[in-house]
Amino acid sequence: MRLARPVSGLAALAAVALAAGCGGGSAATPSSSGPTTPLTVVLDWTPNTNHSGLYLAQARGYFTQAGLDVTIVEPGETSGLQMVAAGRADVAYSVSEELLPARAQGADVVSIAAVIQHNTSSLISLTKDGIARPRDLAGKRYGSYGSDLENAIIRKLVTCDGGTPDAVKMTPLVSDDFRIGLTQDQFDAAWVFDAWDTIRLRDVDGMDVSTIPFADHTDCIPDWYTPILATSRSELSSKGDALKAFMDAVSHGYQDAIAEPSAAADALLKAAPELDPKLVKASAEWLATRYTDNPAHWGQQDAAVWNGFAGFLGDNGLLKGDPQVKDAWTNALLPGAR
């Protein structure tokens, strides 16, 4: 299992906008009485600890108590955001670097919660290779997914640290099993997510690795929300009550995951028993202190974060159109904002 990786170019993002023109039917209109309202939630990847609050809310019956029948599905050939844009799902886990370019190309999608308050990305390497700061990447091989955003972030980090970005060797990844890539000398550094990959390599596999956290360099690169929960404006209009009920329940789930990481791990392992329990438990503990800066307001988003990231995308030619950033996100569905 791997977490979602940096989105590769605009081609995949454009499909979100194209999918918006192929919408199917919608779920039943929510009602305060009568049968439960069905909602489909699409993950951004296979189940992992980013989704723990969702699974904990389901396991503890919060959705049922809210009058919802929530179905959790994994993405297929199209992403969850594409499915939402096409009217084939109600809510999707996504990332800001997918949502903003999709909006710039016409998809009417909107972020309704930041799952994790700050970006938990890092560059990982074997400690013996001496990559302790961004400029140390010069002359090294960076294992690349071929993402335009990825290239922009690496170049900016190295430049800000006084290094030569052209000296970084962009090496295509053979696979995203970083343990194999590092131990078989396929690359020297790669973009990972600390809550999963770093914990797996360092704490579970016992490898001597070093990281360069993006969060330590927000004077150079923007912080941004990854992952997010997203829906569409049409869903907000037609199913606003059901979505508010969903956000009440899922917020409760994430607040429980913050307070009880072992319970969050158990709920995820019950839903996805193929996962490594040691990794899941360690990851749940690590994320419990990072889902939010204020547990009473899990999911809150800030205009400065969205504007800063959109500006970075625009400055690097990664937006083909105007995403209308002020309409790209809302806190209105979060219980703490009402």
Place of tokens 């099993």: 177
Comparing CA positions, the residue from 163, 188, 159, 158 lying closest to residue 173 is: 188
pLDDT for 175: 83
Q: For each of the domains in the chain, give its residue range(s) and CATH number, in order of start.
A: 11-118+225-337 (3.40.190.10), 121-217 (3.40.190.10)
Beta bridge partners, 111, equal 230, 329
Pick from 74, 218, 98, 83: nearest CA to 147: 98
* C-beta of residue 135 within 8 angstroms of C-beta of residue 158: yes
pLDDT at 6: 44
Q: Is 206 left (phi over 0), alpha (psi -120 to 50) or beta?
A: left
Describe the crossing of helices 96-104 and 11-19 by its angle, rounded to 10 degrees: 60
- Model pLDDT, residue 176: 79
Q: How far apart are CA 144 and CA 292, in angstroms?
A: 29
Q: Please tell me the pTM assigned to this model.
A: 0.90
Cα–Cα distance for residue pair 138/315, rounded to 1 Å: 23
> What was the pLDDT predicted at 34?
56
Report the pLDDT value the prediction gives residue 35, as an integer from 0 to 100: 78
- In sequence order, what E strands does the chain have? 37-42, 68-73, 91-94, 109-114, 121-126, 141-144, 169-172, 189-193, 209-213, 228-232
Structure tokens at 112: 């309704």
Q: Give pLDDT, residue 15.
A: 44
State the pLDDT at residue 3: 47
Least Cα distance to 93 among 60, 65, 55 occurs for 55
Q: What is the mean pLDDT of each run of 10 residues along the chain (338 residues)?
A: 42 42 36 75 97 98 98 95 97 98 97 98 98 98 96 98 98 91 96 97 97 98 98 96 98 98 98 98 98 95 98 97 97 87
pLDDT at 14: 39
Interval 5-46: pLDDT, tens: 444 433 344 344 444 444 333 333 333 455 799 999 999 999
Q: Across-strand partners of 172?
A: 144
Q: What is the CA radius of gyration of the chain?
A: 20
Q: Report the interhelical angle of 240-259 vs 277-288 (nearest 10°).
A: 100
Q: What are phi and psi of 73, to 5 degrees?
A: -130, 155
Place of tokens 């996962």: 275
